[in-house]
Amino acid sequence: MARGAPAAEPSDFEKQRLANIAERDALLQKLTQEARAAGSFPPPASVNGNANQKKRPAKPKGPPAKKVKKEDIEPRRVSSRLKGIQADSEVQRAKEEKEYEERRIVEQKKRERQTDEVWFEGSLLIGTDTLLKGVARPGERTFDADDVKETSDKDVAKMRENMGALKLWGEWDPNRIKLTPERIYSMALHPMASKPVVFAGDKLGNLGIIDAGQKNGTGSDTVKKEIKNEEEEEEDEDPDPVISVIKPHTRTISAMYTHPSKPQNLFTASYDSSIRSVDLQKSVAVEIYGPEAKDTDDPISGVDMATTDPNVVYFTTLNGGFGQYDTRTKAKDAKTWQLSEKKIGGFTLHPLAPHFVATASLDRTMKLWDLRKMEKGIPVLVGEHESRLSVSHAAFNSAGQVATSSYDDTIKIHSFGLGRQSKKGNAALESMTTWKAGHQIGEDVMKPEVVVRHNNQTGRWVTILRPQWQRSPKNGLQKLVIGNMNRFVDVYAADGTQLAQLGDDLGENRITAVPAVAVFHESQDWIAAGTASGKLCLWM
């Protein structure tokens, strides 16, 4: 604007805005004058125009409430002066240190493993006559090379038909089948084929057992029903399923295994640094392995055995160790090797060549080891594959393939350089059994043949998702199961083809939590899964 030029006339909008401001100021001044005349100012809410706000009516005055003296629950604190102890004195410090040490010992005792035998009620669930029926024997194959045929689309269609036909156990809703008091961390189905018997281990060392052959209202055939009061009305009774719960461990039961030659025994591994054998016939849980010192903290993350040797257990630890122990010897005779600087979350042995071990670690790797040869004091490293994030589990199937789950949201299936595998995957079996001791393979060969996208983000409150193969499928068609964060259970073939997604077949939302821990029966098409609330989902 040139100097001395006349100012521009304000617009209509600016005129209206100035008029509104003047009107508001006049109103505020008037309200202020009225408030002063009355001897008080209105509250800020009224000044801002909230004149419609109603005042709360005054409470009628009555006699004052009688004060009740609260009873002291906690012991009264007494100062050091009243105790006759000088502040900051050596006596006071010694007393505090003693109290702290006593509390520490109590907490440590709670977590320390118990070496004594744990007895539980006998004949609660499983008849001894049924344990030994329909169980595989060591070294006996359920199929051989003559049974292996070329996989076709008909095979996929048949597997999908079989898996898709599975239904939730209908005797009780899953919400009524509380198998353990706390979050389920590991599961297993007993290998007998006559009826499903499910085991579940929880976060606090409890072991739940249920016979899924029982009927609603009758219980298991081997369970003796209690005598009921004749006066009780039985018409409206709807009893819960019969479940046995024992506590063989003091901390998380991380893994379990039933050896084909000892179907009456369940081997359980725990974060309390021990492995126990639960004898289902004698109703006792006996420690078969644990560090010599009871206060040694070496949490066990996995357990497995060779089908040809029922006396040797293999295990991994959260400290990155791998161990081999003959139960006929003393604990000090166990062989241990440091295979990782970080946690080994899961491992398995090759079912038909148990000198091969696959481990999954927090260091983001899946590694394959050969126990037949030592190098620098540890088993020979055959090869390794690195993922973007930590690997949760490495599971061998009977064909020699390894499936892993990882926090990079993948399921990977490794066939070790043999090309894309069939559903039976027998090419991997033939190759691995011919490898000589010390055989090594490169990074390219270790790459997975199949990568399946899968949400594995379990977070803090859901147990880590781990793939589990069916150990001895009847038709030789390899398939695995894994939990689904959308409250389903996924079933995949060995080439990554999805066969089914199991949920509530009635569509009634009976599954109210993630069935994160999912396992196959050894030979039957039964799938059990457990939730963070200790509930069981069972498809048959």
Q: 43-92 pLDDT, tens per residue?
A: 544 444 444 444 445 545 555 544 444 444 445 555 666 666 565 667 77
pLDDT of amino acid 417: 66
pLDDT of amino acid 6: 56
Supply the CATH number for residue 362's domain: 2.130.10.10
Q: Nearest Cα to 398, choosing from 144, 135, 132?
A: 144
pLDDT at 218 over 90: no
Average pLDDT for 256-271? 95
Residue bearing tokens 């050091």: 80
pLDDT of amino acid 233: 46
**Which residues, in sequence order, are bridge partners of residue 380?**
370
Range of the domain at 534: 145-215+240-539
pTM: 0.72
pLDDT of amino acid 120: 63
pLDDT at 306 over 50: yes
pLDDT of amino acid 87: 59
Structurally, the chain folds into a number of domains equal to: 1
For residue 92, tell me if it sits in a domain.
no
For residue 359, tell me if it sits in a domain.
yes
Could you give the 3-state DSSP secondary structure of residue 108? helix
Q: Which of 28-37, 177-186, 300-309 shows the lowest per-residue confidence on average (mean pLDDT)?
A: 28-37
Q: State how far the Cα of 135 lies from the Cα of 265, in Å rounded to an integer.
A: 13
Average pLDDT for 223-238? 49
pLDDT per residue as tens digits for the range 165-188: 999 998 999 999 999 999 999 999
Task: Find the distance separating the first CA and the last CA of the chain, reported in whole Å.
Answer: 89
Portion of the chain with pLDDT greater than 70, in percent: 74
192 by Cβ neighbours in 10 Å (0-12 / 13-18 / 19+) ranks as buried
Q: State how far the Cα of 231 lies from the Cα of 235, in Å rounded to an integer.
A: 12
For residue 33, tell me if it sits in a domain.
no
Could you give the 3-state DSSP secondary structure of residue 120? coil
Q: Which of 21-30, 100-109, 445-454, 491-500 shows the lowest per-residue confidence on average (mean pLDDT)?
A: 100-109
Q: State how far the Cα of 115 lies from the Cα of 113, in Å rounded to an integer.
A: 6
Portion of the chain with pLDDT greater than 90, in percent: 54
pLDDT per residue as tens digits for the range 393-426: 999 999 899 999 999 999 999 998 654 444 455 5
pLDDT per residue as tens digits for the range 103-159: 777 776 666 667 667 666 654 444 444 443 334 333 332 223 333 334 456 888 889
For residue 166, tell me if it sits in a domain.
yes
For residue 107, tell me if it sits in a domain.
no
For residue 234, tell me if it sits in a domain.
no
For residue 224, tell me if it sits in a domain.
no
pLDDT of amino acid 124: 47
Q: State how far the Cα of 275 lies from the Cα of 253, in Å rounded to an integer.
A: 9
pLDDT per residue as tens digits for the range 429-472: 456 788 899 899 999 999 999 999 999 999 889 999 999 999 99
Query: In degrees rounded to 5, what are phi and psi of residue 88?
Result: 60, 30
More confident residue, 192 or 430: 192
Q: Decide if 472 contacts 524 (C-beta within 8 A).
A: no
pLDDT at 279 over 50: yes
pLDDT of amino acid 135: 41
For residue 9, tell me if it sits in a domain.
no
